[in-house]
Amino acid sequence: MTPNRHGSAIVEFPNDLEIVTTREFDAPIALVFDVFTNPEHVRKWFAPFTCEVTECSIDLRVGGNYHIVFVTDDGTECSFRGTYLEVAPPTRTVATWLFEGWPDADAVESVDLHETGGATRLTMRLAFRDKAGREHMTKHDGQQDSFDKLEDLLRSLLDPDG
Amino acid sequence: MARSSTTSDVFNAIAEAHRREILDTLIGGEKAVGTIVTDLSMSQPQVSKHLRVLSEVGLVRCRAEGRRRLYRLEPARLRPFHEWLARYEQAWNDRLDRMDEYLKELQQEGEPQ
């Protein structure tokens, strides 16, 4: 039996203004890509079980838009939308990311898939543009500041025994 | 416009890379301004400016020892940021767990591999 991978997503801050989430799935890369980008699949897993997905449109091509909306138990609408900048099945997509309800967040989300020995690793990189209006956050080389230590400290705050 | 809440002040304070470097260098313990200047290769006015912002939101605390001013981290003040991070991490962990379950269902139904 394959091990249960629940709760195994890793969230990291590799550098300035980026959040990177990594998760492995016991499935081939083409299927993971399809489940992550095909609206018929996305509406099955995107929202928590008790929430209703009211909108899920994904036009998977460069310049195409996506819009996903779900409504929580207390009636709050959570809306995610953006435009694809790169589409390279089954390994990569890059899209702008706007979470309504957090209007100042202007971000670019890159998703990379990599298959090794039947397992597919999904890496989601959310890069926020800074307020000075930095042009591109997608090709962020160098500038590895020492945020890792700060992250360790943050984690130790939540779990003092960890 | 009203002054932003303390919570968002903490977010603003750590949104700047140099201020995070200062926080990082203080994780090891209390340091004098001059030591921070040397360690981080920043100018004294620059370090002082950032320390003032960090002090205003309570992320660092200052005490005088003779003529030196020593700064130390107040890590508990990072909690609002950490709580946001924990919520983000939880939301994506749950979402990707659901995707995992859904992938398993599809594969058990014999979807093309």
CB distance from B21 to chain A under 8 Å?
Answer: yes
8 Å CB contact of B89 and A11: yes
The residue of chain B nearest to residue A40, with distances taken between CA atoms, is B102
Residue-wise pLDDT for B39-61, tens only, equals 998 999 999 999 999 999 899 99
Task: For residue A31, give the nearest of B82, B98, B103 by CB distance.
Answer: B103
**Cα B8 to the center of its chain, rounded Å:** 12
Greatest Cα pair distance in chain A: 51
What was the ipTM of the complex prediction? 0.73
Q: Hey, are the CB atoms on B78 and A153 less than 8 Å from each other?
A: yes
The runs of H, that is alpha helices, within chain A are 29-37, 39-45, 147-158
The one-character DSSP state at A129 is P
Nearest CA in chain B to A13: B85
Separation in Å, CA of A43 to nearest CA in chain B: 10
Mean pLDDT value of segment B91-105: 92
Structural tokens at position B66: 């003779």
User: What is the residue whose two structure tokens read 């006015």?
Assistant: B45
User: pLDDT tens for residues B77-86?
Assistant: 877 777 777 7
- Residue B40 identity (one-letter amino acid): L
Sign of CA dihedral B1, B3, B6, B9: positive
Supply the pLDDT for residue B6.
39
How far apart are alpha carbons A55 and A69 in whole angstroms?
5
Nearest to B10 by CA among B53, B68, B66, B72: B53
> Would you give per-residue pLDDT tens digits along chain A (162 residues)?
456 777 788 887 776 567 889 999 999 999 999 999 999 999 999 888 788 899 999 999 999 999 999 888 888 888 888 999 999 999 999 998 876 655 555 678 999 999 998 899 999 998 876 543 333 332 333 223 334 445 555 555 555 454
- Helix B17-27 and helix B33-40, axial crossing angle in degrees, nearest 10: 110
Summary mean pLDDT of chain B: 83
Chain segment B6-36, per-residue pLDDT in tens: 344 677 777 777 888 899 899 888 999 999 9
Give the three-state DSSP class for A50. Answer: coil
